[in-house]
Amino acid sequence: MSSIAQYLLNGLMQGTIYGLVAIGFTIFFGVMNVIKFSHGDVLTFGAFGGLVATWLSIALGLPIWLELGLVILVAVAASAAIGALIARSLVLPLKDAPPLNMLLMTMMVGTAIRECIRLFFPNGTNPQKFPELLPSGGAEMSGVYLRYDGLILIVSGIAFIFAIQWIINRTRLGLAIRAVAEDGETARTMGINFTLTVAIAFAIGSMTAGFGGALFGLYYSEINYGMGLILAVIGFSAAIIGGLGNIWGAIIGGYLFAGLQTAVVATLPSLSDYKNVVAFIIVIALITWRPTGLLAERGSERV
Amino acid sequence: MQGGIFRIWGLAVSGLAIMALANAGDASAKEKVKIAFVGPLTGSNSQHGIGGRNSAELAVKLKNADPATKYEYELVALDDECKPNVGVQVVTKIASDNSIVAVVPHYCSAVAIATVDIFHRFKLPMVVWAAVLPDITYAKKVPEIHRVSGILIGQNRVGAQFMKERGYKTFVSFADSTDFGKSMNKYFTEFTKENSNEILGTFAVPPDQQDVSAELTKIKELKPQVIYFGGLTPLGARVRTQMEKLGITAQFEGNSGIMGDAFISAVGPELAEGTLNFWDCPPISKMPGGQFFSENYAKAGYTQPPEAFGPFAFVATNLIMEEIEKVGPDRAKLTQALGDIKNRPSIVGPITFDEYGQNITPLTTKYVVQDGKWAVWEDSEYATGKRKLKNLP
Amino acid sequence: MSFLSANGAGGPELFSSQVGSRMSFLSMKGKGGQILSSVLVAACVACSLVAVLDIEDQRALGICIAVIAGVAFALSKLGIVQAAEQAGVHHPWAVRCIIVAAFAGVLLVLRENNFALLMSATILIYATVCLGLTIQTGFTGLFNFAGAAFLGTGGYTAAMLANVTWLPDIIVILSGGLIAAALGTILILPVLRTRGHYAALATLAFGILFYGFLEANELLGGPQGLKVPGITILGWDFANEPTLGGISFSFYANYVVLIGAIFAVFMIFTRFVERSWIGIWLDAVRLDETAASVFGLRVSLWKSFAFTTGNFLAGVMGAVYAKMTAFIAPANFTFGDSLTLVSIVLLGGIGNRWGVLIATMIVVLLPEKLQFIQEYRLLLFSCVIIGLLFVRPGGLLARRVRVFGGQ
């Protein structure tokens, strides 16, 4: 029983990270009708940015809590910057192109980011050790080992998600973003700065990736250049399950995917290697059953 | 427009001609011979690969500095990324290139076992510098295959006995799912049972799996005294780190795959402290030619250390060059000559290839990590009792 | 009118310099001119291939590639490439003879060079797989991001059937294709029911789960991979070196000939599909599904046909590839490989089968031969594709406009 609780905790952690990635996908799609597949590698970029921040902090001899804050800040800022850059220079010019072109282009951008990290970061091909910044150890509760850092990360991840959600739904900026997502032309005529709003939306979406990257590094104490790809696919799947353009859907999709993985590991321990296989099979089945996602509007076509 | 194109043509052709002429006047006295080195130069095992490559290069450099040699040697270093499919591609490429007469391949056993057939198909002689999987030399009698490093049977036999002597009784085996991990697990299990100890569970994961918490959670329930790890450094580092995060306090027992500085720097000296290991090789300072090797390596100015198996790469390359001096750069003759090597002195001791091309290696040495470095057990404070291993009664 | 954007990636832009205006420069319109052009093009391609494969020295190679690029540019500006394509349309058998002659020439020159022949075989294998992808994406507009998975299916089928020794290798190779096609049917329902990005996810997820499955599954070798025996056809073991009239070839020549033959068959098949009523229906499905079904086209049927056929091609070549390299591992069939295949189709010009061959040559050869870019090959490749998508989304050899009512 205790091990199931253990799996659950792990699942919650992963679900938070997946949810963060999925939110980004869903924002991008909602605002510009584009699937930005480089999102996972933007996460990696943010994580590596955070790593550099830790080196800087150690060199400057900063106290741990300041180092922690700096890591998160730099990770988020780095991702936001590169996300906005990609949006301005690569996505916007190509927005009228066929979807295959856009998809391929963002996949290639992701590959380019990944390769740049691999080639130009010192020792880029090796996994990088992320320092222990959160209190280690944990509480033993009825056989379940609750890691302190795990709990902190889950709580902060959920808090961040709520913050993003609040920005989108309750601020003027969020209103502008939603307006642009609804109808770009009309938003422009209403005096909303289209390009700026799009850039900001992409920056916000990428920020979630940066935060996710920092969480990942802090939890596993290890980051590597290739970690973005599988996270992108999972995040994309999660966003689609929840329905593209729907933030709550993305979050639910993320936890759902993690839940699927956990279910496989918990119920069939000897088959735990197959957790991704089962999860993806269920994802494919889900989108076959509901081709436009679980929470999105039903699309129907009868010709 | 037509004129423009012809102008480009003309420029290009004359450029080609100039290049050809420039390269033509390069007459050297000695015939050039190419030897290939294959190891993981990128990826998470790259520290070992680069150490090996530097050591092989050092051997070539020292040889070329000797005016009495008949040939001038060139080392072609290629990257197998510790992946079997890349290794197969790279070795096929080398084997198809008739100018390369011999190869010093593979740190990763998983790659070596995949490429053995290619060497045989193209009749290309090779001397393995690090991979320890027994099947590489012993599965079939293949004349092209030789190996200077040991095989993993010895380390597991000595290890199992040692653990029994210490007083350990319950173990869990955690290996990777390649042939290397499977072989490690097989011999570990065999010898542990021989010593009447109990294996509570066996786990296997692909070598690049990131999250091992599922498996470790199960292991935690089993409460073993020792966790035996049969795999390479990247996975070993992850297991050790995540063990700590889950609060597992078992004693960590490694294998030759985590031998070297890479593991200690990956997990940090604190977590590495007290890790046990068994390896068919004394530390380099105690090897007969160790001093010579270390001095020359330092003099050559390499930024990366030779790592655990660097000296073996040095030896393998030297063996090949010595034989080329005798029989010339001919693949078939080299295969024959390498097979006949008996009691050849080297920096790691005398090399003798048995009928399968395997070097019968010196004694297995027991190691423990002490203060961020691998120390020989007998010389350590653990042996005297000043420091204690985990979970001992 | 919408057929002017027949190259799906080109968007609303009209076909540019390839058609019409520059053709008259050297009066290549006549039959003799066309045949001559195709001989010239075939000779240039063959010489380029031999040169790139043979030259070892990096600087000479760099210059050689620059020269080839220059020649290619010149040929296309002079209208010779178009004339050659026209020859392919009007005088297919003459062109086929020319190609076979060029192929034999290349084989003869490279006969002892193991690596060059291995590369040639690899190029032809990837080109055939991309032909299958062309049918899926170029003709029918389906996204397939799991190309490598079907390639792998063929390979693993060959590996598994190796234990069944009484099966002749031809059957094994065909089975590779059949099993891949069968596996594809699992995906047909998701592919049919979804549109756009959701459809992309279906094949994407499948590719990833295929890789995950192979890594985890012990029976199929796991991450260690499996050894695969070579091909033996009608008693002739492909590991033997063939000799023809006293000239001996490397044993890879066996594979090159076999793969070349398979490639030729599938090229003719693709041409048939494209030029027949099937091709028109596939185009209709790609361009406007709703309109197509309004006109009574069974969209599901033709999508399934295209998807299955493409997968069959991939499976067949996967089996041959596994047997040629004698080894197969999951790491050969990752998402990155599927992405490379899609990029090749785009680079060559979506829907253009000759473009596929040229693009494959570029993508496979350049990273192998240019040592100094080896490490950077993925980075350079992604940058090239990004650039291409901005500057020339039609690809190198954009697809010809379909002309109706007699050529």
Rounded to the nearest angstrom, the minimum Cα separation between C332 and chain B is 7
- B33 against A1, higher pLDDT: B33
| Residues of A with Cβ-Cβ distance to B206 under 8 angstroms | 273
- Say how far apart CA A15 and CA A258 lie, in whole Å: 5
Rounded to the nearest angstrom, the minimum Cα separation between A177 and chain C is 22
What does the pLDDT read at residue A143?
64
DSSP string, B214-243: HHHHHHHHH--SEEEEES-HHHHHHHHHHH
Residues B216 and B298 in one domain: no
Q: CB-CB: which of B214, B266, B268 is closest to A272?
A: B214
Task: Confirm if C33 and C91 have CB atoms less than 8 A apart.
Answer: no
- Say how far apart CA C48 and CA C72 lie, in whole Å: 10
- Say how far apart CA C325 and CA C180 lie, in whole Å: 19
Residues B340 and B233 in one domain: no
SS3 A204: helix
Task: Confirm if C350 and C9 have CB atoms less than 8 A apart.
Answer: yes
Task: Confirm if C318 and C180 have CB atoms less than 8 A apart.
Answer: yes
- Rounded to an integer, the average pLDDT of C48-59 is 84
Lowest mean pLDDT among A137-146, A242-251, C1-10, C353-362: C1-10
Q: How many CB pairs under 8 A join A and C?
A: 129
All partners of chain C with 3 or more CB pairs under 8 angstroms: A, B
* Band of residue C25 on the pLDDT scale cut at 50, 70, 90: very low
Token representation of residue B33: 């011979």
What are C260-316's pLDDT values in tens digits? 999 999 999 998 988 888 988 898 888 888 888 888 888 889 999 999 999 999 999
Nearest residue in chain C measured CA to CA from A240: C198
Task: Confirm if A217 and A223 have CB atoms less than 8 A apart.
Answer: yes
Task: Confirm if A263 and A212 have CB atoms less than 8 A apart.
Answer: no
* Band of residue C17 on the pLDDT scale cut at 50, 70, 90: very low
Residues B208 and B329 in one domain: no
Contact state of A276 with C379 under an 8 Å Cβ cutoff: no
- pLDDT above 50 for A158: yes
Residues B260 and B237 in one domain: yes
Contacts of A102 (CB under 8 A, 6+ apart): A34, A35, A91, A94, A95
Element (H, E) at C380: helix C377-391
What does the pLDDT read at residue C18?
47
DSSP letter for C249, please.
-
What does the pLDDT read at residue C406?
52
Lowest mean pLDDT among A279-288, B229-238, B319-328, C54-63: C54-63
Contact state of C339 with A109 under an 8 Å Cβ cutoff: no
Rounded to the nearest 10 degrees, the angle between the axes of helix C92-109 and helix C80-90 is: 120
Residue B16 located in a structural domain: no
- Say how far apart CA A109 and CA B304 lie, in whole Å: 32
The closest of C406, B141, B220 to A145, measured between CA atoms, is: B220
The closest of A254, A79, A77, A65 to A158, measured between CA atoms, is: A254
Task: Confirm if C41 and C84 have CB atoms less than 8 A apart.
Answer: yes
Residues B179 and B319 in one domain: no
Q: Tell me, what amino acid is at A44?
A: T
Rounded to the nearest angstrom, the minimum Cα separation between C190 and chain A is 5
Rounded to the nearest angstrom, the minimum Cα separation between C397 and chain B is 21
> How many domains does chain B fold into?
2
Question: What is the distance in angstroms between the CA of the first residue and the CA of the last residue of chain A?
Answer: 53
| Residues of B with Cβ-Cβ distance to C224 under 8 angstroms | 84, 110, 113-114, 177-179
Alpha helices in A33-98 (DSSP H): 39-60, 64-86
Alpha helices in chain B (DSSP H): 2-24, 46-64, 84-96, 109-121, 135-138, 152-166, 179-194, 213-222, 233-245, 261-272, 290-300, 310-327, 331-339, 381-384
Contact state of A288 with C11 under an 8 Å Cβ cutoff: no
- Say how far apart CA B249 and CA B13 lie, in whole Å: 71
- pLDDT above 60 for C11: no
Residues B202 and B87 in one domain: no
Residue B14 located in a structural domain: no
User: Across-strand partners of B173?
Assistant: B202, B228
* Band of residue C376 on the pLDDT scale cut at 50, 70, 90: confident
Domain, as residue range, for B200: 153-279+366-384
Mutate one of A14, A125, A219, A270 to test the B interface: name it (highest B CB count within 10 A).
A125
- A255 against C7, higher pLDDT: A255
What does the pLDDT read at residue C266?
93
Q: Tally the C-alpha atoms within 13 A of residue A183's C-alpha that lie toward its C-beta.
A: 6
Q: Is ipTM over 0.90?
A: no
User: Across-strand partners of B370?
Assistant: B373
Contact state of C115 with B96 under an 8 Å Cβ cutoff: yes
Q: Tally the C-alpha atoms within 13 A of residue B188's C-alpha that lie toward its C-beta.
A: 31
Contact state of A125 with B43 under an 8 Å Cβ cutoff: yes
What does the pLDDT read at residue C312?
96
> Strands B100-105, B31-39: parallel, antiparallel or unpaired by DSSP?
parallel
Domain harbouring B265, CATH code:
3.40.50.2300
- Say how far apart CA B89 and CA A101 lie, in whole Å: 31
Nearest residue in chain C measured CA to CA from B3: C74
Lowest mean pLDDT among B320-334, C286-300, C368-382, C392-406: C392-406
Mutate one of B80, B177, B217, B304 to test the A interface: name it (highest A CB count within 10 A).
B217
- Say how far apart CA C364 and CA A171 lie, in whole Å: 51
Element (H, E) at C234: none
Residue B37 located in a structural domain: yes
- pLDDT above 70 for C8: no
What does the pLDDT read at residue B362?
65
The closest of A265, C83, C13 to B205, measured between CA atoms, is: A265
B92 contacts chain C (CB < 8 A): yes
- Rounded to an integer, the average pLDDT of A277-298 is 80
Nearest residue in chain B measured CA to CA from A222: B238
SS3 A97: coil
User: Across-strand partners of B368?
Assistant: B276, B375
Residue B393 located in a structural domain: no
Contacts of A161 (CB under 8 A, 6+ apart): A16, A19, A20, A23, A208, A251
Contact state of C208 with A276 under an 8 Å Cβ cutoff: yes
> Strands C236-237, C232-233: parallel, antiparallel or unpaired by DSSP?
antiparallel
- Rounded to an integer, the average pLDDT of C122-148 is 92
pLDDT tens for each residue of chain B, 393 residues long = 444 444 444 454 554 545 444 444 444 578 899 999 999 988 788 889 999 999 999 999 999 999 888 999 999 999 998 888 889 889 988 998 888 999 999 999 989 998 998 999 889 999 999 998 998 999 888 999 999 988 888 899 999 999 999 999 999 999 998 889 999 999 999 999 999 999 998 988 888 788 888 788 888 888 999 999 999 998 999 899 888 888 888 999 999 999 988 889 888 888 899 999 999 888 888 888 889 999 999 999 998 889 889 999 999 999 999 999 999 899 999 999 999 998 888 888 888 998 898 988 667 889 999 999 999 998 888 888 888 888 876
Residues B248 and B378 in one domain: yes
Mean of all residue pLDDT scores within chain C = 83
What does the pLDDT read at residue A297?
52
Mutate one of A33, A108, A121 to test the C interface: name it (highest C CB count within 10 A).
A108
Contact state of C212 with A108 under an 8 Å Cβ cutoff: no
Residue B6 located in a structural domain: no
Mutate one of C219, C327, C328, C337 to test the B interface: name it (highest B CB count within 10 A).
C327
In chain C, % of residues over pLDDT 70: 91
* Residue keyed to tokens 């935060």: A211
Residues B146 and B157 in one domain: no
Residues B147 and B166 in one domain: no
- Say how far apart CA B292 and CA B281 lie, in whole Å: 17
Residue C222 has phi, psi (to 5 degrees) of 65, -160
Chain-centre distance of CA A75, in angstroms?
Answer: 12
SS3 B32: strand
Residues B163 and B311 in one domain: no
* Residue keyed to tokens 């996270």: A231
- A46 against B9, higher pLDDT: A46
Residues B186 and B164 in one domain: yes
| Residues of A with Cβ-Cβ distance to B242 under 8 angstroms | 220
- pLDDT above 90 for A88: no
- Rounded to an integer, the average pLDDT of A79-90 is 90
Residue B71 has phi, psi (to 5 degrees) of -120, 160
All partners of chain B with 3 or more CB pairs under 8 angstroms: A, C
Contact state of C67 with B19 under an 8 Å Cβ cutoff: no
Task: Confirm if A228 and A48 have CB atoms less than 8 A apart.
Answer: no
Task: Confirm if C343 and C31 have CB atoms less than 8 A apart.
Answer: no
Rounded to the nearest angstrom, the minimum Cα separation between B113 and chain C is 9
DSSP string, B159-213: HHHHHHHHT--EEEEEEESSHHHHHHHHHHHHHHHHTT-EEEEEEEE-TT----H
Question: What is the distance in angstroms between the CA of the first residue and the CA of the last residue of chain B?
Answer: 90
Q: Which CATH number is associated with domain C113-407?
A: 1.10.3470
Residue B49 located in a structural domain: yes
B234 contacts chain A (CB < 8 A): yes
Residue B297 located in a structural domain: yes
What does the pLDDT read at residue A288?
87
- Rounded to an integer, the average pLDDT of C217-229 is 85
A268 contacts chain C (CB < 8 A): no
| Residues of C with Cβ-Cβ distance to A105 under 8 angstroms | 385-386, 389
- Say how far apart CA A57 and CA B15 lie, in whole Å: 53
Rounded to the nearest angstrom, the minimum Cα separation between A68 and chain C is 32
- Say how far apart CA B76 and CA B317 lie, in whole Å: 12
Mutate one of C209, C377, C380 to test the A interface: name it (highest A CB count within 10 A).
C209
Rounded to the nearest angstrom, the minimum Cα separation between B94 and chain C is 9
- Say how far apart CA B387 and CA B381 lie, in whole Å: 6
| Residues of A with Cβ-Cβ distance to C143 under 8 angstroms | 100, 103
- Say how far apart CA C146 and CA C184 lie, in whole Å: 10
Task: Confirm if C247 and C111 have CB atoms less than 8 A apart.
Answer: yes
- Rounded to an integer, the average pLDDT of C214-242 is 84
Contact state of B218 with A125 under an 8 Å Cβ cutoff: no
Residues B120 and B235 in one domain: no
Mutate one of B245, B261, B265, B271 to test the A interface: name it (highest A CB count within 10 A).
B245
Task: Confirm if A82 and A110 have CB atoms less than 8 A apart.
Answer: no
C332 contacts chain B (CB < 8 A): yes
Q: Tell me, what amino acid is at B137?
A: T
- Say how far apart CA C47 and CA C64 lie, in whole Å: 11
DSSP letter for B247, please.
T
- Rounded to an integer, the average pLDDT of A31-36 is 83
Chain-centre distance of CA B290, in angstroms?
Answer: 18
The closest of A54, A52, A73, A74 to A64, measured between CA atoms, is: A54
The closest of A134, A149, A121, A69 to A226, measured between CA atoms, is: A121
Q: How many CB pairs under 8 A join B and C?
A: 87
Task: Confirm if C130 and C344 have CB atoms less than 8 A apart.
Answer: yes
Token representation of residue C137: 């994406």
Lowest mean pLDDT among A5-14, B11-20, C318-327: B11-20
C247 contacts chain B (CB < 8 A): no
Neighbours of A290 (CB within 10 A): 19
Element (H, E) at B322: helix B310-327
What does the pLDDT read at residue B170?
92
> Strands B373-376, B365-370: parallel, antiparallel or unpaired by DSSP?
antiparallel
What does the pLDDT read at residue A124?
81
Element (H, E) at B31: strand B31-39
| Residues of C with Cβ-Cβ distance to B98 under 8 angstroms | 114
Rounded to the nearest angstrom, the minimum Cα separation between B43 and chain A is 5
Lowest mean pLDDT among A194-198, C164-168, C312-316: C164-168
DSSP string, C252-312: HHHHHHHHHHHHHHHHHHHHHHHHSHHHHHHHHHHH-HHHHHHTT--HHHHHHHHHHHHHH
- Rounded to an integer, the average pLDDT of C187-208 is 86
**Residues of CATH 1.10.3470 domain(s) within chain C?**
113-407
Residue B3 located in a structural domain: no
